[in-house]
Amino acid sequence: KLLALVRRPRELLNTLHSPTIKMLLLSMGKHRSMTTFVSLLLSILLSFATANVERGIQIINESGSNVDIHWVHATTGEMVFQMNVMNGASAALNSFVGHRFEVRETASKKTGVCLGGSCSVGHFDVSLNQEQVVSVGPGIDVTFEDSLSRSKASATDILSECQERALKAVGTSSATTQSAIEDLVKCVEKSVTSTIEKSYEEVSFQASVRKDMAKLLENYTCADDELASSDPVSRTQWTFDGVTRDVAIMLDRPASKVHLVEDFISEEECKAMEKAAKPSLHKATVADGSGGSEVSKNRKAMQAGIRVPWSKEQEGHPIARLSR
């Protein structure tokens, strides 16, 4: 992220002119070690790079009492109330990387005090990783987990089990250190392979669900003749040969685009196309996903190839005019 910032000189210059960096540069004389200075500069630049990265956090309250979630201002320490999470409930929170939150036990509405006399407090910080979950246990014991911490825990479990087996092998008189190391490597390989296989199974399952849903949606949309078209993503105009036409952009993605041009074809051109296509009209094909094409039972469209009479373009032939 630092390299990406360095490659954008204007943004880097603006960053260096920020009040925080200016304070750091003014205090540079106090830091005799250039390593210390560079470390501070890197940490501040990295904080700028991740400041606008949004993350979702799930909060699970199993503390035995209701809790209040407050955002803590990084500079002033001011607390801003976000939500109240009841005991046994969960809530979703959207924030940004580096933001700090306080989890505070909610005082009783009747007495104004908490169960133990003083309200317990915990904290958590939003990380850069995905799948962040904050669990609040008894005594407002806050446990934070994300995709990275779960991976580390899983890896630790694997290594601990394999290490224990290797140590037992070393302890026997018949085993050598080399064989113990080989056993350790095999153990880790087996465990990691099993974990990867489970991940592949999950990915394959999700892919199959998406494909099955796509087939059902295709059948549904093609079977319903009265189904309304989607609203355009945007609208624009297209000018050709002195004529300006309205264009509705229905789909605009890197691999697929659908632009609907109003009054693109005249009645005369349309009839000429139908007449020329009628002798060779057949069921339209769709892409089969491997570079070829196939007939889909869900698609009702018909298609035909038409030879354009370019020799009659000067005479105003409708198909030649439309093709041009």
Residue 86 lies in a domain: yes
Beta bridge partners of 249: 234, 259
Question: What is the Cα 46 distance to its own chain's centre?
Answer: 21
212: alpha, beta or left? (left if phi > 0; alpha if psi -120 to 50): alpha
CA 64/CA 58 separation, integer angstroms: 18
Q: 215 and 181 in one domain? A: yes
pLDDT single digits (tens) 161-184: 777 777 676 665 555 666 766 776
Rounded distance, CA 138 to CA 62, Å? 7
**Residue 120 reports pLDDT greater than 70:** yes
Sign of CA dihedral 31, 34, 36, 38: positive
Q: Which residues pair with 287 in a beta bridge?
A: 293
> Rounded to an integer, what distance in angstroms lies between the CA atom of residue 304 and that of residue 274?
10
Specify whether 62 is located in the same domain as 94. yes
Q: Tell me: the pLDDT tens digits for 228-248? A: 888 999 999 999 889 999 999
What residues form DSSP beta bridges with 199? none
262 and 289 assigned to the same domain: yes
**Residue 249, in any domain of the structure:** yes
100 and 39 in a common domain:
no
Burial class (CB in 10 A: 0-12, 13-18, 19+), 69: buried
- One domain, residues 82 and 123: yes
Average confidence score pLDDT of the chain:
78
State which residues form the domain around 59.
54-145
pLDDT score recorded for residue 9: 43
Same domain, 141 and 154: no
- Residue 292: the pLDDT is 77
**Which amino acid appears at position 255 of this protein?**
A
Q: Over 50: is that where the pLDDT of 2 sits?
A: no
Instruction: Classify residue 55 by its DSSP letter.
Output: E
* In-domain check, residue 99: yes
167 and 209, same structural domain?
Answer: yes
Please state the domain count of the chain: 4
Complete DSSP assignment for 193-249: HHHHHHHHHHHHHHHHHHHHHHHHHHHHHHH-TTPPPPPPSEEEEEEETTEEEEEEE
pLDDT tens, position by position, 272-290? 999 999 999 988 887 776 7
Residue with tokens 């099993």: 194
User: If DSSP codes are grouped into helix, strand and coil, which group holds residue 137?
Assistant: strand
pLDDT class for 127, splitting at 50, 70, 90?
A: confident
In the predicted model, what is the mean pLDDT of residues 56-82?
Answer: 91
Three-state SS for 71? strand
Residue 285, pLDDT score:
80
Query: Could you report the per-residue pLDDT of 24-33, keeping only the tens digit for each?
Result: 555 554 544 5
Q: Are residues 68 and 135 in the same domain?
A: yes
Sign of CA dihedral 232, 236, 238, 242: positive
Of 145, 170, 202, the residue at which a domain comes to its end is 145
197 vs 49, more confident? 197
CATH of the domain at 139: 2.60.40.780
Go through 295-317 and write b for each residue having 16 or more CB atoms within 10 A of its CB, e for each that does not. ebeeeeeeeeeeeeeeeeeeeeb
Claim to verify: residue 29 and residue 67 sit in the same structural domain: no
Query: Does residue 201 sit within a domain?
Result: yes
Question: For the purposes of burial, counting CB atoms within 10 Å of the CB of 237, is it exposed (0-12), middle (13-18) or buried (19 or more)?
Answer: exposed
Whether pLDDT at 207 is above 90: no
Pair 245, 303 in one domain: yes
Distance, CA of 274 to CA of 271 (rounded, Å): 5
Written as six digits, the tokens of 236 are: 């624009």
